[in-house]
Chain A
């Protein structure tokens, strides 16, 4: 019991007293983008230009709430759901670029969910592009 109590506080203390400014925790987020069916290729190529290399496409359908569409009987429309993993810092510039594309032809929506943890240093490095940016961190 005593040992446990003595180890833990020093460990925490050390961590708090000496914050290393070099180490930046690069947070990852899961970006979910819903666009019209067959438009996903275009979006994925934009994502890849912005270094979001991991994307998966799932087929989905949207429930458009427009009265007119209901009358026409096409209230449900085919959609592509793109799941991509992206660094937090890359989201803002990416969203700036796809803002107009989404609005004009995608009739889509995009949102990101912060990830709380992940396993695998290699994968983490790949996702955060440690080699490109020369940022040494294995937090995750």
Chain B
């Protein structure tokens, strides 16, 4: 694990269907730029649902965001506050180290008009 990219990390965020706007909004407020959304289906535990009397919606969306490492903790916490497991979004948020990255436009990073991914 020596040649990891020291500048960027990837945040993956699995939320209930329809909560991606909140996630992206929060991430952008904390310094992220674009994100990519994939549809997914969760496999909720039927026993758990019965036991707690709640419904775990199987419709999920996964948000992938490339962020700078220094913003990581801030963004993770902010997203957890907004759409974490305790909210309606029931989101699971984690970050992964990345070793190579291509296609991030550094020059226009500081402005609001940035390239989407």
Contacts and interface: CB of A to CB of B under 8 A. Distances in A.
A109 B66 CA distance: 9
Most chain B CB inside 10 Å of its own CB: which residue of A60, A79, A98, A109: A109
A111 interface: yes
Interface stretch (A2-10, A13-21, A100-108, A119-127): A100-108
Contacts of B116: 62-66, 69, 77, 107
Given A59-B38, A79-B36, A109-B66, A65 B99 contact: no
Contacts, number: 102
Given A34-B36, A59-B38, A111 B115 contact: no
Looking at chain B's contact residues, is the secondary structure mostly helix, strand, loop, or mixed?
mixed
Interface of A: 29, 31-32, 34, 58-69, 77, 79, 81, 88, 91-92, 95, 98-99, 102-103, 106-114
Interface of B: 1, 4, 8, 10, 20, 24, 28, 33-39, 64, 66, 96-104, 112-117
Contacts of A102: 102-103
Given A91-B100, A95-B100, A95-B102, A65 B39 contact: no
Contact of A65 (B64, B66, B97, B114): B114
Contact of B102 (A58, A59, A64, A98): A98
A67 B113 contact: yes
21 contacts: A29-B99, A31-B100, A34-B36, A59-B39, A60-B36, A61-B36, A64-B34, A65-B112, A65-B116, A67-B112, A95-B100, A99-B102, A107-B115, A108-B117, A109-B34, A109-B102, A109-B104, A109-B117, A111-B10, A113-B99, A114-B99
B114 A63 contact: no
A77 B97 CA distance: 26
A60 B40 CA distance: 10
B102 A111 contact: yes
Contacts of B39: 59-60
Nearest to A108: B103
B26 to A, nearest CB: 12
A134 B24 CA distance: 46
Nearest to A112: B100
A61 B34 CA distance: 11
B10 to A, nearest CB: 6
